[in-house]
A and B are shown apart, each in its own frame.
Chain A
Amino acid sequence: MELVHDHLKATTENLKTDELLINMGPQHPSTHGVLRVVITTDGEIVKKSVPELGYLHRCFEKHSEAVDWSAVTPYVDRLDYLASMNNAMGYAIAVEKMLELEVPRRAEYIRVIIAELQRIGSHLMSFGTYGLDMGAFTAFMYGFRDREMILDIFEAISGARLLYNYMWIGGTYRDITPEIVKSIKDFLVYFKPKVEEYNNLLTYNKIFVERTKDIGVIDLKTCFDYGLTGVMLRGAGYKWDLRKDLPYSIYPEVQFDVPVGTGQMGTLGDCWDRHMVRMREMQESIKIVEQLIDGIPEGPHRGKVGKVIKVPAGEHYSRTECPRGELAFYLVSDGSGKPFRVKCKSPCFMNIATLDDISRGVMVADLVATIGSLDIVLGEVDR
């Protein structure tokens, strides 16, 4: 035994290693879309990882300048295609602020209910694919099974399953019916115990914990430096949620907690913490929907908006809390019927920018764990 050990030692001392440049992606199951990461590796150790973007670039901002204000909504849907409702709601709120438009109470209720359902759907997707990244296939199937029910509700309400064009400026596209309210209630009853079950299945799984703890640590300083928001910020232990701290819509009227990372399994702000924040956010979203679903007021579902929306000249920077962080729109209007400039600040764009900093010196397999925990959607990164 001694002899073998000495032999190995001698080999590692004499062995010459070269750095190797590896392309991960753009077609790779673990990069969650068409992301290409150029990795410099020393054996199994990642020395440097540079994300290369643009494979899904559609120049959404240029498109927006050619159409009128309401026709931007379908483009906005296509940014973060796993949370279209939240995106479109963010855009609608930004334009309504410039129009100084009051949205009917009924529309606000419908919007928040739908947005929170979408948040659950998006986090379920994150939960499933993250499990898949870590080699747990069951989580993927469970996540998709439950997300399917949310998609069915959205199909009934908007006619589409992925890109809804539902959150219109001034309200919603269609009204909510008693049948849809019932199906949402049924879903809540079904889904409420599931989060705990999934935690037992995946979150507290020994293998999963070993793979994700102390990996990809993002501390608070990094968060501020990189302008990170949403789950990244909360995973680092900072209690900040736009829905709570700078509330919009009817969020001030509902009770919910803001889950933060605690460093329960290892370091504060590691991959496990971020995963856990997502799981607990699903429970909070259930709470919000439960509080609202029985009290939807009567009235119109869309405010008085003209056929052609003319936004007065001005500038506005508006942020909303999307599943992946704070989605911001910087709108400039020159008073004509079309947007002069629509700048979208996507949270994923900021999140993936940290990759090189947080993944130096880890194993290649841990890089996969880190990318998974950032929960990026390339439609939003590349726009």
Chain B
Amino acid sequence: MTFDEVLTKLQSQFTSNVILGKDDTKPDASIKVDASKIHDITKYLRDELKFETLSCISGVDFPALPAYAVVYHFFSFTHKLMLPIKVLLPRQDGVSVQSIVDLFKAANWLERETYDMLGVTFTGHPDHRRILCPEDWEGFPLRKDYKTPDYYNGMPVPLFFEEEGTAPSGGTH
């Protein structure tokens, strides 16, 4: 099974306002889907099209679109195929997408990381909290307009980036 066959299958299974089409980026293309149906699509991919594992969930901030993107990479050992599924969300606070933890346990920590870094919430997640940053950290670091806070609990935060676009200026690693 190839990428285009999967796309055709998805288009015949779901309506056109759920499967929004192909995002023709090079070298990997992805399938854009509607945020509210990601759970159904994941279930269909896992049970019918034999995508046995969830390889990764990544959050990307696209200020130019503008959108927060959540990208799912499903992998099928049967077809030896990696399938990127992309969900575009409005670029604002408090946007949410369905959690798929009940389908893939791998999603548990990956969704927590996406929330931690990008501030996208996952409805239905059993343990929805930060994972890498401290729980009382303010802001979401991987947003493009993120400003490092000057202080964290009264402690000065070392500055790695002096200004936008310059190389890191030392500090501890």
CA–CA, A231 and B109, complex, Å: 20
**Which B65-123 residues have a C-beta within 8 angstroms of A?**
71, 73, 75, 77, 80, 82, 84, 104-106, 108-109, 117
Cβ of B73 and Cβ of A66 under 8 Å apart?
no
Residues of A within 8 A of B7 (CB): none
Cβ of A341 and Cβ of B106 under 8 Å apart?
no
**Which A223-244 residues have a C-beta within 8 angstroms of B?**
224-227, 240
Which of A50-58, A188-196, A255-263 lies on the face that meets chain B? A50-58
Nearest chain B CB to A339's CB is how many angstroms away?
A: 11
Which of B11-19, B36-44, B53-61 lies on the face that meets chain A? B53-61
Size bracket of the A interface: 35 or more
B155 within 8 A of A: no
Cβ of A330 and Cβ of B109 under 8 Å apart?
no
B133 within 8 A of A: yes
CA–CA, A168 and B90, complex, Å: 37
Cβ of A317 and Cβ of B82 under 8 Å apart?
yes
Cβ of A314 and Cβ of B25 under 8 Å apart?
yes
Cβ of B55 and Cβ of A345 under 8 Å apart?
yes
Size bracket of the B interface: 35 or more
Q: From A238, which residue of chain B is reached at the shortest CB distance?
A: B77
B21 within 8 A of A: no
Q: Which of B27, B60, B141, B161 has the largest count of A CB atoms less than 10 A from its CB? A: B27
Residues of B within 8 A of A341 (CB): 58, 60-61, 142
Cβ of A245 and Cβ of B73 under 8 Å apart?
no
**Known: A227-B53, A245-B80, A353-B105. Contact between A67 and B133, CB under 8 A?**
no
Contact of B167 among A71, A225, A343 (CB under 8 A): A71
Contact of B161 among A61, A66, A71, A240 (CB under 8 A): A66
Cβ of A382 and Cβ of B60 under 8 Å apart?
no
Contact of A59 among B52, B60, B105, B141 (CB under 8 A): B141
Cβ of B117 and Cβ of A314 under 8 Å apart?
no
CA–CA, A51 and B61, complex, Å: 28
A107 within 8 A of B: no
Which A residues have a C-beta under 8 Å from some C-beta of B? 53-54, 57-59, 61-63, 66-67, 71, 78, 97-98, 100, 224-227, 240, 245-246, 312-317, 319, 326, 328, 330, 332, 334, 340-341, 343, 345, 349-350, 353, 357, 382-383
List 30 A-B residue pairs with CB atoms under 8 Å apart, sorted by A's residue number.
Answer: A53-B131, A54-B132, A54-B133, A54-B134, A57-B133, A58-B173, A59-B141, A61-B117, A66-B160, A66-B161, A66-B165, A66-B166, A66-B168, A78-B173, A98-B27, A226-B105, A227-B53, A313-B25, A326-B55, A328-B55, A328-B56, A330-B71, A341-B58, A341-B60, A341-B61, A345-B58, A350-B106, A353-B105, A353-B106, A382-B132
